[in-house]
Amino acid sequence: MGGMGLCAMVVLGGVAGWLASIVAGTNARMGLVANVLVGVLGSTVGGFVFRFFGGAGVTGFNVYSLLVSVVGACLVLLVAKKLFRF
């Protein structure tokens, strides 16, 4: 996460996880903690994917990082839905 503080990482992860759960259709089944966990994990996954394709990963607390995190969180939820059938 670079120079992001823990609080900023949790807030960004929570928003990204919430937006991804809306996109993936799992919002009704997820709570605050699940949204934060999916969002933080999604930030890591999204950063890796974006860097793999030549882009920047999570660069701080900004709109670009939110986009990277939401994309990663959607990927995490897609895999989770396939593995756990929820």
Q: Which domain holds residue 19?
A: 6-84
Residue 56 lies in a domain: yes
pLDDT tens for each residue of 26-50: 888 888 898 899 999 999 999 999 9
Give the chain's end-to-end CA distance (angstroms, integer). 29
Query: Buried b vs exposed e over 56-86: b needs ≥16 C-beta within 10 Å?
Result: ebbeebeeebbebbbbbbbbbbeebeeeeee
Q: With 90 as the cut, is the pLDDT of residue 15 above it?
A: yes
Give the number of domains in the chain. Answer: 1
Which percentage of the chain shows pLDDT scores above 70? Answer: 94
> What pLDDT does residue 1 have?
47
Residue 1 lies in a domain: no
Give the pLDDT band (50/70/90) at residue 59: confident
